[in-house]
Structure 1
Amino acid sequence: MSLIGEERKDYILNQLNLEGKVKTNDLVDNLNVSSETIRRYLEELEEENKLKRVYGGAVKINLSRDEPSHLKREVLHADEKRKIGRAAATLVEDNDVIFIDDGTTTLHMIDYLLNKKNITVLTISIPALYLLIDYKNKELYSGDIYLLGGKVNSMHSRVTGTLAEKMVENFYADKAFLSVDGLMVEKGITGFDEEKGQLTRQFIKNAKQSIVLSDQSKFGLVQFYKIADLKEIDIIVSDAAAPKEWEDYLVKKDVTWIAAQ
């Protein structure tokens, strides 16, 4: 494979998005260069804060094993999240009942629901609740709003726990719009928090369609709690096209991928 240096580094980053890690020996074989050249590329990418070198290769950089607070998440990849939220909102039809998961990406959907008629929203997100209430008081949103009650997590501005799970069990929705912290073909969708992950799993169970909203920074990451396999998801909405190596799997499992514009 004859590629210039920057294209080779792009290949390395693409493999990290797919697998979450790369091995020096595999890169030597696939790129047909020396191990010294690969080590130099990995050093340069680490200096650019795009990966973390480990013995025998590198892993995708994951700055924290803990979930950032809601306020911190609001400023991360904000433009990408806005595009994803707008694209996801186009999937909502008049008279739909929808679950809106906690997350700053799903929150961006709400601004684009105002022209929909008779929408019922069920959510665990307190910022989503406030936004919907504000729009309803301004007569910009006319549908029903349900906050799925339980233990309040103040750092992440959401409701979780067994009470919330039991409440979710009592509702069925047309569509569930889900937020995730990691996305890989083999590992599925994953999250930082087990309690929140269990609620997301219940959304999937009780919805006719499950729709994941994820920017490309989540590709190749695996977090603490496995929420579901990708085959359990109907649609993925992202700011980027699906990695080419995922396409056959997505087609085989009938998962639709939407790249937001």
Structure 2
Amino acid sequence: MSLIGEERKDYILNQLNLEGKVRTNDLVDTLNVSSETVRRYLEELEDENKLKRVYGGAVKINLSREEPSQLKREVLHAEAKRMIGRAAAQLVEDNDVIFIDDGTTTLHTIDYLLNKKNLTVLTISIPALYLLIDYKNKELFSGEIYFLGGKVNALHSRVAGSMAEQMVEHFYADKAFLSVDGMMIGRGITGFDEGKGRMTQQFMKHAKQNIVLSDQSKFGLVQFYKIADLKEIDIIVSDVPVPKEWEPNLAAKNVTWITAN
């Protein structure tokens, strides 16, 4: 594959991240190549498990319409999540009140909060609660911990529901660190579960700054429940630079992109 061929394939993948799908006819016009060449690129990318070919083009692979369990999520993209968590923690200042959403990416943020002073952390995540308690008992974390109780989802180790939503109404935070299952320009941020999505919305309403933590596997995916439009997000922290095609749209919405390293 020539360099220009690889660049064309990168363009196709970037379009998938932007739109979630590509059309063969549009790629023929944009790349100024034959339909046979486009089909070859799509075949090669499908062989690399980077897209799924459909009639007239291709779509981004969505491996599951169901949320993996907490244990399975912990091992998916683990190194990227660790990097994102560390970068996100750098946004936390002494004396901050923060929401930490349920999610294995947001969970990694906690490991890098230990040198912060006088923090107040509110969460619906049971693993986050256990981790904070452990650090507190070892005198590595000196802040305050609030667990927003409600109906327990054992599979995903979190709470949600009307009681938890009502508890959030009593608090205001400086920053909300949010997890998502899909993110696409024009579709916003989305999640597998409506109850979890409503909790994330509550965090957003009660925080001065909304920060989405997302590895690149979430780009170009749309899941069942719409959480918010991208204009409601202040910062996105990811393991990769912002897709070039996203830059104008995010700039228009005043969304800052931070690349973890």
Would the TM-score normalized by the shorter structure come out above 0.5? yes
Deviations 1:128-163 (A, max 9, x none): 000000000000001111111011111111101111
Q: State the distance in 1 between where 2:163 and 2:242 align.
A: 36
1:72 counterpart residue number: 72
Q: State the distance in 2 between where 1:186 and 1:44 align.
A: 28
Correspondence 1:132 to 2:132: yes
Equivalent residues in 2 for 1:206-225, closer than 5 Å: 206-225=206-225
Please report how far the alpha carbon of residue 3 of structure 1 lies from its aligned counterpart in structure 2 after TM superposition: 6.2
Please report how far the alpha carbon of residue 252 of structure 1 lies from its aligned counterpart in structure 2 after TM superposition: 1.7
Give yes or no for contact 2:14–2:245 (8 Å, CA) kept in 1.
Answer: no
1:163 counterpart residue number: 163
Correspondence 1:259 to 2:255: no
Correspondence 1:197 to 2:197: yes
Give yes or no for contact 2:15–2:245 (8 Å, CA) kept in 1.
Answer: no
Equivalent residues in 2 for 1:79-94, closer than 5 Å: 79-94=79-94
Give yes or no for contact 2:190–2:224 (8 Å, CA) kept in 1.
Answer: yes
Correspondence 1:123 to 2:120: no
Scaled by the length of structure 2, the TM-score of the pair is: 0.97
Letter paired with 1:84: I
Corresponding residue SS for 2:127:
helix
Corresponding residue SS for 1:208:
strand
Give yes or no for contact 2:215–2:238 (8 Å, CA) kept in 1.
Answer: yes
Give yes or no for contact 2:176–2:203 (8 Å, CA) kept in 1.
Answer: yes
Runs of 4+ in structure 1 deviating by more than 4 angstroms, as ranges, are none
Letter paired with 1:135: Y
Q: State the distance in 2 between where 1:29 and 1:87 align.
A: 40
Letter paired with 1:190: T
Correspondence 1:144 to 2:160: no
Q: State the distance in 2 between where 1:256 and 1:165 align.
A: 28
Correspondence 1:53 to 2:63: no
Structure 2: which 5+ runs fail to align?
none
Please report how far the alpha carbon of residue 92 of structure 1 lies from its aligned counterpart in structure 2 after TM superposition: 0.5
Q: State the distance in 1 between where 2:254 and 2:11 align.
A: 27
Aligned length: 260
Deviations 1:148-194 (A, max 9, x none): 10111111111011111111111111100000011112101100000
Letter paired with 2:43: E
